[in-house]
Homo-oligomer: A and B are copies of this chain.
């Protein structure tokens, strides 16, 4: 088991990564809580919720189970969790455990952040993708007009990452998760990036996965330690997300996974970076790797104006101008303002490039 300590403004918290550590949860948690509410989705609950409950034979343990999918990350379920918490009698010394992917983590985390003005919560990610959202204290729900627009910075009490729970992931989920790992590698570590481009996602080994997760989490946590509230370097973690978030909104949340959208966004960032800095970046090798690993890259019918409008609802937008993370080189990210005119040209040349590539096939 690996243990990484993250220094947050309010308190430091540990991230535990290891196989089957969900059975040792009670040993990893130091504090005694008055009661515990496990929040999970229907699929994850069926697989693991009992394993969590058995950790606490002498405590009051309750469950709130939400439907699977991004659609649950909205106001109705947020309020439902608050109602559950009140009716189960949770007080300020209670704990919420977020057992699941990013949707569960963000929703349950935001509920914990705002229940009685904030109680402890523990992230137990069960997807690769959630390695990203579970670290750094960002919690949120979606507004019908945009993703993650309602939320807080509220660090967890701990992150407990049982890699065994990743064995049941689908190919799609593995792809989605690796997109964020590629992002972390691109902003911070060329060696890690090159290692990832050699991975074949269909037969990634458990020890490899653990190594990659640990490397990604270390990059993420070192960034959020410096800039928890996203006033500076944390913005770099948005690499690939300007187009990524807009694509998710344009296609409808759930139509494309977050990671798949980010993957296309990363490729777009490389495309814009190459044009802006006239530098040679790994656009081609990234494209080939994404293709080989069956990432969906067919977004040819984009309406650029609609995409640009959606990009602007992003929280990084300032004065109605899109802020996009670019790369001067691998490990050298920079935030650039891009005006609508240039953005439209970039989007057109990008889809053209993808179209040509698909014809060559």
Contacts and interface: CB of A to CB of B under 8 A. Distances in A.
Contacts of A230: 117
Interface residues of A, number: 36
Nearest to A321: B91
B89 A320 contact: yes
Interface in A1-57: 34
A114 B318 contact: no
A145 B113 contact: no
Interface in A209-266: 229-230
A230 B93 CA distance: 12
A351 interface: no
A277 interface: no
A317 interface: yes
A83 to B, nearest CB: 7
Contact of A79 (B75, B82, B152): B75
Contact of A116 (B75, B79, B92, B149): B149
Contacts of A116: 149, 151, 315
A91 B315 CA distance: 7
B151 A117 contact: yes
Given A91-B318, A145-B87, A152 B75 contact: no
A291 interface: no
Contacts of A317: 91
Top 5 closest A-B pairs, CB basis? A116-B315, A86-B145, A117-B151, A114-B150, A91-B318
Given A114-B114, A117-B315, 15 more contacts: A34-B318, A83-B143, A86-B143, A86-B145, A86-B313, A91-B315, A91-B317, A91-B319, A92-B315, A92-B316, A93-B319, A114-B150, A116-B315, A117-B140, A118-B229
Contacts of A118: 152-153, 229
Contacts of A319: 34, 91, 93
Interface of A: 34, 75, 79, 82-83, 86-87, 89, 91-93, 113-118, 138, 140, 143, 145-146, 149-153, 229-230, 313, 315-320
A143 B80 CA distance: 11
Contacts of A82: 143, 149-150
A114 B316 CA distance: 15
Given A75-B75, A83-B143, A92-B315, A115 B149 contact: yes
A115 B230 CA distance: 14
A129 B123 CA distance: 39
B152 A152 contact: yes
A82 B151 CA distance: 11
A320 B150 CA distance: 31
A152 B83 contact: no
A135 B138 CA distance: 26
- Of the listed residues A140, A145, A150, the one surrounded by the most CB atoms of chain B closer than 10 A to its CB is A150
Contacts of A320: 89, 91
25 contacts: A75-B79, A79-B143, A82-B150, A83-B143, A86-B145, A86-B146, A91-B315, A91-B319, A91-B320, A92-B316, A92-B318, A93-B318, A93-B319, A113-B152, A114-B114, A114-B152, A115-B149, A115-B150, A116-B149, A117-B138, A117-B151, A117-B153, A117-B229, A117-B230, A152-B152
Nearest to A317: B91
Nearest to A145: B86
A92 B82 CA distance: 27
A229 B166 CA distance: 37
